[in-house]
DNA sequence: TTGTATGCAAATGGTTTGCACCTAT
DNA sequence: ATAGGTGCAAACCATTTGCATACAA
């Protein structure tokens, strides 16, 4: 449960930038979206809330939201970038449901053993990405039914 | 060391498809490239070897090489897809040098503990991606010098 | 007021595709 | 012979950008 200062319509998601009607609506649209979304999907939802908001503004806003860590890029789908707001604060990775696009935070599986292996190869690790794919409980049920 | 049937100019990389001059040159160009490459970079190298090969052909050939597992997509750089031939046969991931683009195969760090965690969240894992970034030995030296 | 933000439309750039012409098999 | 491959150029499409206008602070 986000505190007020962290609410979708609050300003912290955009850092010190000016708050505008469009940015408020975009942040709220993200907050109402469960799972991953493309810019185009988000723009559609935004347009339903505020007819006048242009696509370029959505692109610019999401870039800011990503910069502040409020949303994360979690891959791509059909040539479009995928974003999600999973809400985790600390270092984490993602569990992606390939059925419905739902995103859950996942713990980091990298341990000392792996770092050692990298060192053995002469590498100095600086960053990493881990993404798990699967079916969430609901989609498993759906699969059994269908 | 690849056996003859698996050589760059051999046909196995393209499966049962017809072997052509262009495909032979493209596979050889990939084989001569150390580290990751974009289609554009590969196309340049190919053009140096055979003036007439078009970019579309390189795109089509790489799609086939990826399909056969001869090359792998290992991320993107500046909006372009990145590919690499790391040569590992079994399940593996990648160690990417952010300095020179060199790619090394890396063991899979996913263990039973992680699977359990996913199950606890109700997920049924079906796939995953792990990519490690860092500096290879040569680039570390380079960094210290520069 | 005034520096930012927005909308629109045009530009960008990677990738794909249609088509008439080649060429392995 | 003929199904499949190629080059070229045009088409596609997600994303970015220039610019005149609108607006938060």
pLDDT digits (tens, 9 = 90+) for A21-47: 999 999 999 999 988 999 999 999 999
- Which residues does chain B have within 8 Å of residue A82's beta carbon, measured at their own beta carbons? none
What's the pLDDT score for residue A70?
Answer: 95
Identify which of A3, A94, A7, A77 has the alpha carbon closest to the alpha carbon of residue A42. Answer: A77
Spatial strand order of the sheet with B37-38 comes to B37-38, B80-84, B72-77
Residue with CA nearest C17 C1'? B56
What's the pLDDT score for residue A10?
Answer: 52
Is the per-residue pLDDT at B85 higher than 90? yes
pLDDT classification of A2: cutoffs 50, 70, 90: very low
Is the per-residue pLDDT at B3 higher than 50? no
What's the pLDDT score for residue B118?
Answer: 76
Distance A34 CA to C9 C1' (A): 32
Distance, in Å, from the CA atom of B133 to the CA atom of A125, rounded to the nearest integer, reads: 6
What's the pLDDT score for residue B62?
Answer: 98
CB contact B124 to A (< 8 Å):
yes
Distance B13 CA to D14 C1' (A): 31
Is the per-residue pLDDT at B70 higher than 50? yes
CB contact under 8 Å between B132 and A114, yes or no, is yes
Residue with CA nearest D15 C1'? A59
Percentage of chain A modeled with pLDDT above 70: 92
What's the pLDDT score for residue A57?
Answer: 98
Is the per-residue pLDDT at B61 higher than 60? yes
What's the pLDDT score for residue A8?
Answer: 53
Of the ranges A55-59, A75-79, B86-90, which one carries the lowest mean pLDDT score?
B86-90
| Average pLDDT of span A131-140 | 88
Length, in residues, of chain B: 146
Pairing of strands B80-84, B72-77: antiparallel
- Which residues does chain A have within 8 Å of residue B144's beta carbon, measured at their own beta carbons? none
> Which residues, including other chains, have CB under 8 Å from residue A104's CB and lie 6 or more apart?
A86, A94, A95, A136, B121, B123
Is the per-residue pLDDT at A1 higher than 60? no
pTM above 0.85, yes or no: yes
pLDDT digits (tens, 9 = 90+) for A100-124: 888 888 888 887 777 777 777 788 8
């Amino acid at each position: 449960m986000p505190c007020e200062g962290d609410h979708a319509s609050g300003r912290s998601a955009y850092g010190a930038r000016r708050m505008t009607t469009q940015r408020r609506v975009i942040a709220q649209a993200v907050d109402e979206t469960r799972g991953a979304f493309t810019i185009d999907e988000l723009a559609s939802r935004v347009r339903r809330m505020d007819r006048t908001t242009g696509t370029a503004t959505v692109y610019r806003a999401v870039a800011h939201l990503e910069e502040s860590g409020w949303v994360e890029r979690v891959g791509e789908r059909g040539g479009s970038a995928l974003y999600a707001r999973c809400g985790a604060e600390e270092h984490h990775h993602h569990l992606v449901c390939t059925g419905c696009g739902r995103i859950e935070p996942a713990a980091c599986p990298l341990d000392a053993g792996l770092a050692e292996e990298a060192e053995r190869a002469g590498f100095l690790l600086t960053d990493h990405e881990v993404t798990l794919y699967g079916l969430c409980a609901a989609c498993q049920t759906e699969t059994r039914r269908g």
